[in-house]
Amino acid sequence: MRLQWASATDTGRVRRVNQDAIFADGTLFAVADGMGGHAGGEVASKLAVETISELPLTNGLAEAFKDSFSEANRRIMSKASRSENLRGMGTTLTAALVTVESHRELFLVQNVGDSRAYLLHRGELQQITKDHTYVGELLRSGSITEEQAAHHSQRHVLTKALGVESVVDSDIFKVVPVNGDILLLCSDGLINHVTDGEIEKILSANVPLQQKADQLVESANLSGGTDNISVILVEVVELDSVEQEVDAVSLVVPPQDDQVRPIVRGGPELLSIPRPIDKQSIVRGGRIFTTRVAVFVLLLLLLIGGVLYSVQLYENHSYYVGDSGGVVVIFHGHPGGLLWYSPSVVRVSSLHMNSLNSVEAEAIKSKVPEPSLAAAESYVRNLQARVKQQSFIAKHPLGLSTTSTTSTTSTTSTTSTTSTTGPGAG
Ligand code: MG
Query: What CATH code is carried by the domain that includes residue 264?
Result: 3.60.40.10
In a domain, 18, yes or no: yes
Both 287 and 181 in a single domain? no
18 CA from centroid of ligand 1 (Å)? 9
48 CA from centroid of ligand 1 (Å)? 15
Both 237 and 309 in a single domain? no
Distances (CA, A) of 219 to 68, 376, 399: 33, 79, 109
363 CA from centroid of ligand 1 (Å)? 72
- Quick one: what percent of the chain has pLDDT higher than 70? 81
208 pLDDT more than 60: yes
Q: Which residue has the higher pLDDT, 283 or 210?
A: 210
In a domain, 321, yes or no: no
Both 100 and 153 in a single domain? yes
Q: What gap in Å lies between CA 116 and CA 276, rounded to an integer?
A: 18
412 pLDDT more than 50: no
Both 213 and 189 in a single domain? yes
pLDDT given at position 58:
64
Both 236 and 287 in a single domain? no
Quickly state the pLDDT bin for 251 (edges 50, 70, 90): low
pLDDT given at position 157:
87
5 CA from centroid of ligand 1 (Å)? 22
Choosing from 293, 315, 337, the residue where a domain stops is: 315
287 CA from centroid of ligand 1 (Å)? 17
238 CA from centroid of ligand 1 (Å)? 32
In a domain, 51, yes or no: yes
pLDDT given at position 371:
86
Task: Quick: pLDDT tens for 120-131.
Answer: 999 999 999 999
Number of domains in the chain: 2
Q: Which residue has the higher pLDDT, 289 or 303?
A: 303
Closest CA to 264 of 116, 93, 127, 63: 127
Task: Quick: pLDDT tens for 390-399.
Answer: 777 777 765 4
74 pLDDT more than 90: yes
Q: What is the mean pLDDT of residues 76-94?
A: 93
Distances (CA, A) of 269 to 115, 138, 168, 253, 265: 22, 12, 17, 17, 7
List of residues 6+ apart from 151 with CB closer than 8 A:
none
275 pLDDT more than 50: no
Both 147 and 291 in a single domain? no
228 CA from centroid of ligand 1 (Å)? 6
91 CA from centroid of ligand 1 (Å)? 9
270 pLDDT more than 90: no
Residue 132 · residue 201 · CB < 8 Å: no
79 pLDDT more than 60: yes
Residue 30 · residue 252 · CB < 8 Å: no
86 CA from centroid of ligand 1 (Å)? 18
H or E segment and range at residue 376: helix 373-395
Both 163 and 210 in a single domain? yes
Both 114 and 87 in a single domain? yes
In a domain, 383, yes or no: no
pLDDT given at position 413:
39
Quickly state the pLDDT bin for 293 (edges 50, 70, 90): confident
In a domain, 376, yes or no: no
pLDDT given at position 156:
80
pLDDT given at position 258:
38
Both 105 and 167 in a single domain? yes
In a domain, 301, yes or no: yes
216 pLDDT more than 90: yes
Closest CA to 416 of 216, 424, 408: 408
300 CA from centroid of ligand 1 (Å)? 34
Strands (DSSP E) found in 68-161: 90-91, 93-101, 104-112, 116-121, 124-127, 157-158
Both 127 and 169 in a single domain? yes
189 CA from centroid of ligand 1 (Å)? 5
pLDDT given at position 172:
93
In a domain, 322, yes or no: no
Q: What is the mean pLDDT of residues 308-334?
A: 86
192 CA from centroid of ligand 1 (Å)? 9
352 pLDDT more than 80: yes
How high does pLDDT run on average in the chain?
A: 82
Beta bridge partners of 116: 186
Q: What is the mean pLDDT of residues 11-29?
A: 95
In a domain, 353, yes or no: no
* DSSP-derived secondary structure for 202-249: HHHSSS-HHHHHHHHHHHHHHTT--S-EEEEEEEEEE-SSPP--S-SE
Q: What gap in Å lies between CA 216 and CA 392, rounded to an integer?
A: 104
Both 311 and 201 in a single domain? no
Q: In what order do the strands lie in the sheet with 344-352?
A: 344-352, 327-332, 319-324, 368-370
For residue 300, the enclosing domain spans: 283-315
Q: What are phi and psi of 372, to 5 degrees?
A: -150, 170
Both 251 and 144 in a single domain? yes
Quickly state the pLDDT bin for 101 (edges 50, 70, 90): confident
